[in-house]
Amino acid sequence: MAIILQVNYTPGPERQSDAALIEIAEQISSSVIGLQWKVWISNETDRLRGGIYLFDDVETARAWGEGRLREMLTAIGGTNISMKYFDVDKKLSVITRMPIRKGRIAA
């Protein structure tokens, strides 16, 4: 079953360059097992950043979230890290235009 991982955190005081963020995005895209897609989110007013990830299953979502992702966020000075996992209600999501590819949720 597809799983959404919702991550929110307060970034550290040093802002990462656009080039560094692009490099991180490329690494995530090519190396995170079970990841279908990620949406990067930010709220500059409240100093929050995060992401919405779609994984193939809860095992791969938790392996990424509680493993390498938490390490990365901590290493860049991220605090107040919140990770929440949600099942995808495919039936209702299709009605509201969730993309489908070959019988599974798509990017």
Domains held by the chain: number = 1
Q: What is the pLDDT of residues 75-106, one digit of tens each?
A: 999 999 999 999 999 889 889 988 765 555 55
Give the domain CATH number at 38.
3.30.70.100
pLDDT tens per residue, range 28-45? 999 999 999 999 999 999
Residue 50 structural domain: 3-105
Alpha carbons within 13 angstroms on the beta-carbon side of residue 69 total: 26
